[in-house]
Amino acid sequence: MTTTTIKLSRRYEAPGAEPFDTIVLREPTYNDLFMSGLGKPFDFQMAKGQPIRVLYPEIVDQYAVRLVKSPDYGHIGQIAAIDALKLEAAICDFFREPTGSKTLPTS
CA distance 34 to 15: 35
pLDDT digits (tens, 9 = 90+) for 16-40: 889 999 999 999 999 999 999 999 9
Provide CB contacts within 8 A for 33, sequence distance 6+.
39, 40
pLDDT at 1: 75
Whole-structure pTM value:
0.87
> Mean pLDDT score of the chain, rounded to an integer?
93
Reported as a single tens digit per residue, the pLDDT across 43-94 is: 999 999 999 999 999 999 999 999 999 999 999 999 999 999 999 999 999 9
